[in-house]
Structure formats: structure tokens, C-alpha cells
Amino acid sequence: MKLLYFAWLRTRIGIAEERVDLPSGVGTVGQLLDWLRTRGPGFATALADLSVVRVAVNQDYVDIDHPVTAGDEIALFPPVTGG
Amino acid sequence: MIRVQREPFDIGRELAALTAGNCQIGGVASFVGLVRDMASARAGNMPSGNARIGALTLEHYPGMTEAKLAEIEAEARQRWPLEASLIIHRYGRMELGEGIVLVATASRHREAAFASCQFLMDWLKTKAPFWKLEETEEGAAWVAARDSDEAAAARWHPPTK
């Protein structure tokens, strides 16, 4: 799957984009976030407060229970501030 | 029509192009969002010797940004009888006073144009993936989302789909 990070999530995690294999036991957005938090302090800090994290799967907003699959493009970003 | 671009936009030219050739249009409503000096506003309006403080860099999500803007525009076209509509949103670095976003709606009568223009801005601000990075005297800082923007978007009820 392709993972994208934007705004302060990108700067805290330290990367903008990466490709990872779907980890075993990860079937939902929530499980993916749990797995990401184990990957290092940058991930753990950035994903500590989910009230300021938005998730898009294949460029559509989704909830934490949304399924994730190997071919997905998954983006994590803060609440938007355009306009 | 939607456009996501780095370059500045020419408001007069864009509005002229929007209405050109359509004599059913009786009115155009437009909104232009500008880079304003938030840094000095926070510091109690103290005059800043450095005019560059307060410049913004807009980050976006190429692909999803265009898709969301198109969705929002389609929603407006479904709700109001519009003859034409336009959303231009810029990304990249912008100085104080520069235009960030231009939204324009054209209809036979003013009510649809005014209402849909406000709707487009309210939904764009809470749904289109853009993020503002502000240059302050303490360094670069990400602008936080405002609850009042969520409340403004919620006035228009959920999408019909």
C-alpha cells in the first residue's frame, strides 16, 4: 500500500510518502494506525491524538473502522485549513 | 470549472471568461481569499518592520484536492440553478495581500449566485485538502483549523448522496 503524510504529520514523521506491505493482522484504518505507532517515536507522537488526524483511503475521507487493503492509497493529515 | 495552480490569478480576466457567451447570466457573485497579516494581529497589531512575516505556504494533496473541489462544485450545481461556476485555489508560497482562492458563481438571479458562492467557500474550507504554513517571527507554524469553519460548513446540511 501507499502511505502519504501531509502538513505537520509529514514533518513530525519525517517522510512524505512510502510504500509498505500490508502488515499481518491489519484490516482497518484503526489497526493500521496502531501498527504505525509502533514504528518509532515520530509516528507515535504524530498519531497520539486522533482528534487532529484525518484519514483518506483512495482519496476519500473515511472513519477509523474503514477497511484497508494492499492496493490502497492511504493519506494521513491534520484538519484542513485552505481557503 | 476548478483549477488548482501555483500561479496568481487575474480576477477580472477570470470573471469575464466565466460569463463570456452566456446571455442567460444575470449576475455573478465572487469571493477572493487573501493572505492577511495574522502574525501582527496576534501581536496586538504592533507594526512589523518586516513585511515578509505573515507570508503563507499552501500545501495540498494532488489528486484528492481536485477531486474534492469537483465534488463540492457538483454539489452546488445540484442545489442551485447556476449558469456557470469557478473555483481557483492556489498552492505554494504567497506573500501578504496575494489571492489564495477565487470562487465565482453565475446565475439568472442573484439569490442563487450569492448563496452558492458562500456554500462553496464554507465547504471548501472544511473539506478540500489544503494546509497553511505561516511564517512567523518564531519560525514556520501550521495554521490550526477553526471550529467556526466547521459550524459554517454544517449550516448547509450534509451532502445529498
Place of cell 471568461: B17
pLDDT of residue B40: 61
Give the 3-state secondary structure of residue B78: helix
The answer as to whether B74 is a domain residue is: yes
Closest approach of B122 to chain A, Cα-based (Å): 9
Question: Above 0.90 for ipTM, yes or no?
Answer: yes
B127–chain A Cβ distance below 8 A for any pair: yes
- Which stretch of DSSP H or E encloses residue B111? helix B110-127
pLDDT of residue B50: 45
CB contact under 8 A, B131 and A4: no
Question: Could you tell me the CATH number of the domain that includes residue B68?
Answer: 3.90.1170.40
pLDDT of residue B43: 59
CB contact under 8 A, B131 and A80: yes
Number of domain units in chain B: 1
Among A59, A60, A79, the residue with its CB nearest the CB of B145 is A79
* pLDDT digits 0-9 by tens, A35-61: 999 999 999 999 999 999 999 999 999
Closest approach of A23 to chain B, Cα-based (Å): 25
The answer as to whether B134 is a domain residue is: yes
B54 Cβ neighbours under 8 A, 6+ residues apart: B35, B36, B37, B38, B39, B40, B48, B96, B134, B135, B136
The answer as to whether B7 is a domain residue is: yes
CB contact under 8 A, A80 and B121: no
Number of domain units in chain A: 1
The answer as to whether A82 is a domain residue is: no
- Statement: the pTM of the whole predicted model exceeds 0.80: yes
Least confident of A23-37, A65-79, B49-63: B49-63
DSSP per residue over B13-42, as a string?
Answer: HHHHHHHTT-TT--EEEEEEEE---HHHHH
Closest approach of B146 to chain A, Cα-based (Å): 8
Question: Could you tell me the CATH number of the domain that includes residue A25?
Answer: 3.10.20.30
pLDDT of residue B137: 83
User: What range defines the domain where residue B87 resides?
Assistant: 2-154
Query: Rounded to a whole number, what is the distance in angstroms from the first to the last CA of chain A?
Result: 30
What single-letter DSSP state applies at residue A24? Answer: T
CB contact under 8 A, B59 and A79: no
The answer as to whether A61 is a domain residue is: yes
Name the closest residue on chain B to residue A52, using Cα atoms.
B145
The answer as to whether B160 is a domain residue is: no
Averaged confidence pLDDT in chain B: 91
CB contact under 8 A, A59 and B130: no
Name the closest residue on chain B to residue A17, using Cα atoms.
B61
User: What range defines the domain where residue A49 resides?
Assistant: 2-77
The answer as to whether B112 is a domain residue is: yes
